[in-house]
């Protein structure tokens, strides 16, 4: 018989971005010790790579002013890579003094979002990256370059795929072969996602693509599955669905890690991540910061938690 699983990769890599994008979205600044505790707990879930902090200027992103302390404070795990967001040369200089495994560079795929977010065009942002990439190579750390609003810009709408080709080519020119495709504003739909991802993989098979979806319009998981059908195997997600871009009005959070792992577990796609531990961290975040997790399974429980027949009889007797 036909089995849906045959349209999907049997294994995906989930990259936890909660400590960077998520903590940044919590208005209060999380105490460094609490961050370290949460990151350590996340590293124990089986995730292979986490984006733990950002080297943005402390005035721009005060939530990550303690980037050095976080990096120095967390425990290291064999086989768990620690990634950091590097927004500019100054950030790279700070990161050089810390122990990191991967630097994540980012730019906006559209000029309008790029101007709003970084006050420069996409190409101007790219021009500043080669020095950072050279520093990373010297330091022996991996570099990934992502493009925000690649699957929909809140100012320009759907971008032509040629725009994405151009950016991938510019990244390749400076030696970046790991490229993030981000639906920052949650505008992608499964058709656009599948088509764009498939075209990119076909055209630049040497690139390792990382997909990043926001659930702004409820299409996050459907987009991930469409991207998987197009051949993508690396996805960002955020515990409790924390996250969002402050320059994209009404953008809600990332796909919650717990919902993504749960869906993959149910389908038999391997993630290597322990779902119960992620849900437990999501609940810890809820109680520590007084917000409601966006993880559906954190609220409703997992589909394998069967209810006792006794409960059914009670419900029945109440009729």
Q: How far apart are CA 24 and CA 177, in angstroms?
A: 27
Among 27, 119, 205, 287, binds a second copy (CB under 8 A): 119
Is there binding between residue 116 and a second copy (CB under 8 A)?
A: yes
Tell which residue, 182, 240, 258, 192, has the closest CA to residue 214: 182
Q: How far apart are CA 291 and CA 249, in angstroms?
A: 20
Calculated CA dihedral for residues 68, 74, 77, 83, nearest 10 degrees: -40
Is there binding between residue 160 and a second copy (CB under 8 A)?
A: no
Is there binding between residue 225 and a second copy (CB under 8 A)?
A: yes
Query: In the 8-state DSSP scheme, what is residue 256?
Result: B
- Site for a second copy, residues 227 to 266, rule: CB under 8 A: 229-230, 246-247, 249-252, 256, 259, 262-263, 266
Tell which residue, 205, 313, 277, 308, has the closest CA to residue 14: 277
Is there binding between residue 87 and a second copy (CB under 8 A)?
A: no
Query: Residue 88 or 302: which CB sits closer to a second copy?
Result: 302
Is there binding between residue 190 and a second copy (CB under 8 A)?
A: yes
**Has 245 been annotated as catalytic?**
yes
- Site for a second copy, residues 267 to 296, rule: CB under 8 A: 267-268, 295-296
User: In 7-46, which positions are buried (b, 16+ CB within 10 angstroms) versus exposed (e)?
Assistant: ebeeebbbbbbbbbbbbbbbeeebebeebbbbbeebbebb
Among 34, 94, 128, 217, binds a second copy (CB under 8 A): 217
Conformational region of residue 13, where left means phi above 0, alpha means psi within -120 to 50, and beta covers everything else = beta
Site string for a second copy, 52-81 (x = CB under 8 A): --------x---------------------
Count interface residues toward a second copy (CB under 8 A). 74
Query: Residue 127 or 311: which CB sits closer to a second copy?
Result: 311
Give SS3 for 185: coil
Is there binding between residue 187 and a second copy (CB under 8 A)?
A: yes
Query: Residue 21 or 183: which CB sits closer to a second copy?
Result: 183
Catalytic positions, written as ranges: 245
């Amino acid at each position: 018989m036909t089995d849906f699983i045959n349209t999907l990769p049997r294994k995906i890599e989930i990259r936890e971005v909660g400590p960077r994008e998520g903590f940044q979205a919590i208005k209060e600044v999380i105490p460094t010790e609490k961050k370290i505790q949460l990151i350590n707990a996340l590293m124990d879930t089986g995730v292979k790579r986490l984006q733990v902090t950002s080297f943005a200027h402390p005035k721009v992103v005060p939530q990550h002013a303690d980037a050095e302390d976080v990096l120095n404070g967390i425990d290291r795990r064999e086989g768990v890579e620690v990634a950091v967001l590097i927004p500019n040369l100054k950030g790279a200089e700070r990161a050089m003094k810390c122990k990191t495994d991967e630097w994540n560079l980012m730019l906006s795929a559209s000029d309008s979002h790029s101007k709003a977010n970084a006050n420069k065009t996409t190409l101007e942002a790219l021009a500043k990256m080669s020095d950072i990439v050279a520093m990373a190579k010297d330091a022996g750390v991996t570099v990934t370059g992502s493009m925000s609003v690649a699957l929909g810009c809140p100012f320009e709408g759907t971008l032509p795929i040629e725009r994405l080709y151009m950016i991938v080519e510019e990244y390749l020119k400076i030696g970046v072969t790991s490229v993030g495709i981000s639906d920052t504003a949650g505008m992608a739909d499964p058709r656009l996602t599948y088509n764009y991802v498939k075209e990119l993989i076909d055209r630049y098979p040497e690139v390792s693509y990382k997909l990043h979806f926001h659930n702004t319009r409820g299409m996050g998981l459907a987009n991930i599955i469409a991207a998987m059908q197009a051949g993508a195997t690396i996805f960002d997600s955020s515990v409790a669905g924390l996250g969002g871009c402050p320059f994209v009005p009404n953008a809600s959070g990332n796909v919650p890690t717990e919902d993504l792992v749960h869906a993959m577990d149910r389908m038999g796609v391997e993630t290597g991540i322990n779902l119960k531990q992620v849900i437990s961290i999501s609940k810890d975040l809820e109680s520590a910061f007084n917000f409601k997790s966006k993880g559906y399974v954190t609220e409703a429980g997992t589909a394998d938690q069967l209810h006792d027949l006794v409960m059914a009889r009670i419900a029945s007797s109440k009729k």
